[in-house]
């Protein structure tokens, strides 16, 4: 009975407090945060074997879902995103036309593709529908803003960091982690490193279409294997002004 009462107290009082805001104690900057996704194809790279319509994909190239957070003008009417919006993006990592339940099931598979036994947690997380701070349909703030490439995690894992940085005056770019020829990342081969660098270069080429992105001032944040990728990108691109490694695998045995 005591255990039941404690569980009930947790569900009624503690859990709502914990889930009100994934930002925790982080303070939002001066700007509202706009989020958009660009679904496109890199014609210079081959299609992934799992792309839904492979015959079409072979003509279009590598599917690229480029997620962008950027400073927006403050406005009263705001359609804020939830974590579910970021989770569902996983279902369109390479199949852009999926929707509804098919998209959700694909998102679950993609999100836990390396640890399929944890897929049931996706449904539990989805039920919480945790609120985020990014909004839709807002105008970019005036000016040009330096760009940050936030690498080697997908949108659900980096959304808090991305939103926070955008609120402080940065354009933040991220895309799903994909392998060279399939969705599974080939981290034990140099092809994976080269592919990730090419994906970053392609993402930056898309940034050049945005009037508010200062692509002459780029910062890189690499997580895990991404730390090696951002260093490789920096060696080739003089516009990079800063590199940050988070739990980077630069000196791991496979890193050499």
Q: How far apart are CA 252 and CA 225, in angstroms?
A: 9
What 3-state class would DSSP assign to 66? Answer: strand
Structure tokens, 195: 């592919």
Q: What is the mean pLDDT of residues 4-24?
A: 54
* Number of Cβ atoms within 10 Å of the Cβ of 82: 16
Question: What is the average pLDDT value for the chain, to the nearest integer?
Answer: 87
What 3-state class would DSSP assign to 102? Answer: helix
Percent of the chain with pLDDT over 70: 86
Bridge partners, 146 (sequence order): 214
pLDDT at 5 over 80: no
- State the pLDDT at residue 256: 65
- State the pLDDT at residue 247: 82
- Choose the weakest-confidence range: 9-13, 25-29, 68-72, 180-184: 9-13
Contact 211, 188 (CB under 8 A): no
pLDDT at 8 over 50: no
* Number of Cβ atoms within 10 Å of the Cβ of 141: 18
* Number of Cβ atoms within 10 Å of the Cβ of 181: 16
Q: How far apart are CA 230 and CA 174, in angstroms?
A: 12
Structure tokens, 178: 């994909």
- Choose the weakest-confidence range: 98-102, 206-210, 233-237, 248-252: 248-252
Percent of the chain with pLDDT over 90: 65
- Choose the weakest-confidence range: 9-13, 20-24, 77-81: 9-13
37-82: pLDDT as tens digits: 999 999 999 888 887 766 665 678 899 999 999 999 876 667 889 9
Q: What angle do CA 99, 102, 104 make, to 5 degrees?
A: 85
Q: What's the order of all strands across the beta sheet hosting 32-42?
A: 79-82, 131-136, 32-42, 62-72, 171-174, 145-151, 213-223, 240-246
Bridge partners, 222 (sequence order): 151, 245
87-109: pLDDT as tens digits: 999 999 999 989 999 999 999 99
Terminal Cα distance for the chain, rounded: 56
Q: How far apart are CA 206 and CA 249, in angstroms?
A: 28
167-190: pLDDT as tens digits: 999 999 999 999 999 999 887 778
pTM for the structure as a whole: 0.88
What 3-state class would DSSP assign to 231? Answer: helix
Contact 144, 125 (CB under 8 A): no
Q: What is the mean pLDDT of residues 106-116?
A: 94
């Amino acid at each position: 009975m005591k255990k039941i009462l404690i569980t009930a107290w947790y569900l009624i009082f503690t859990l709502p407090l914990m889930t009100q805001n994934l930002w925790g104690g982080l303070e939002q900057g001066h700007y509202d945060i706009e989020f958009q996704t660009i679904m496109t194809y890199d014609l210079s790279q081959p299609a992934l074997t799992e792309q839904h319509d492979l015959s079409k994909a072979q003509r279009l190239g590598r599917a690229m879902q480029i997620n962008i957070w950027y400073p927006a003008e403050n406005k009263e009417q705001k359609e804020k995103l939830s974590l579910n919006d970021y989770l569902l993006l996983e279902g369109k990592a390479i199949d852009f036309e999926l929707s509804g339940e098919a998209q959700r099931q694909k998102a679950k598979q993609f999100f836990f593709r390396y640890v399929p036994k944890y897929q049931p947690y996706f449904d539990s997380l989805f039920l919480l529908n945790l609120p985020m701070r990014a909004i839709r349909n807002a105008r970019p703030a005036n000016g040009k803003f330096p760009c940050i490439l936030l690498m080697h995690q997908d949108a659900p894992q980096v959304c808090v960091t991305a939103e926070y940085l955008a609120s402080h005056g940065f354009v933040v770019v991220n895309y799903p982690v994909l392998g060279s020829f399939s969705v599974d990342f080939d981290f034990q081969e140099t092809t994976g490193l080269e592919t990730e660098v090419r994906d970053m270069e392609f993402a930056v080429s898309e940034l050049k279409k945005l009037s508010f992105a200062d692509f002459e001032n780029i910062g890189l944040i690499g997580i895990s294997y991404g730390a090696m990728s951002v260093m490789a990108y920096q060696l080739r691109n003089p516009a990079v002004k800063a590199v940050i490694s988070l739990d980077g695998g630069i000196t791991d045995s496979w890193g050499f």
